Amino acid sequence: MKDLSNYRKSYDKSELVETSIPQDPINLFNKWFHETEDFGGVEEVNAMTVSTIGLDGFPKSRIVLLKNFNEDGFIFYTNYNSEKGKAITNNPNVCLSFFWPSLERQIIIKGTASKVASSISDNYFASRPDGSKLGAIVSPQSEVIPNRAFLEEKLKQLENQFQGKEIPRPNNWGGFLVKPFEVEFWQGRPNRLHDRIRYKMQNSIDWKIERLSS
């Protein structure tokens, strides 16, 4: 077994101080997102971990792609009948996390997920390549299947069926909006004395800003 006890690095690329942050965490998220994008070194800046509480009572985390964010929250798309979709329907409290090692930053978001309007899902689905559209229809996400050929054969059938035709969004596929009530920004610092700033929603309107010990 490999010994990982000596895996260490010094974090010294930036700092996070209260005097230079906005009052709204979405504005700071936007700033960090674009700084990471401009800096480079992260292949998919919008890749995030979504953690849910499954129907079996266990937490489960997986990587998905953030597709939009605004003052209302963070939007991603999935199969509503998937394990993830069923978990969110049963318990809408979720956690999102981003790790951007190129700038030694993490963001952890606690929030409540709800389905976006059908029109929003329709518009996003229409923007996808045909292969991705068909993949959303083909895959019974999270279900047990006999083999890969099962999916590939279904895909071929749908390619023939929809050749030259518009591909409709399936009703069981669409977006979730995660409305945040707590957002923590983590900036790596030397000697493991990292900067941690937490925004907590107060009275559904205002954000309380707190510094946490590293």
Q: Could you give the residue numbers annotated as active site?
A: 192
Tokens of residue 104, six digits: 């030694």
Nearest to 89 by CA among 123, 112, 60, 109: 112
Q: From CA 185, how far away is CA 81, in angstroms rounded?
A: 32
β-pairing verdict for 93-100 and 47-53: antiparallel
| The total number of residues written for the chain in this structure | 214
Nearest to 141 by CA among 78, 55, 82: 82
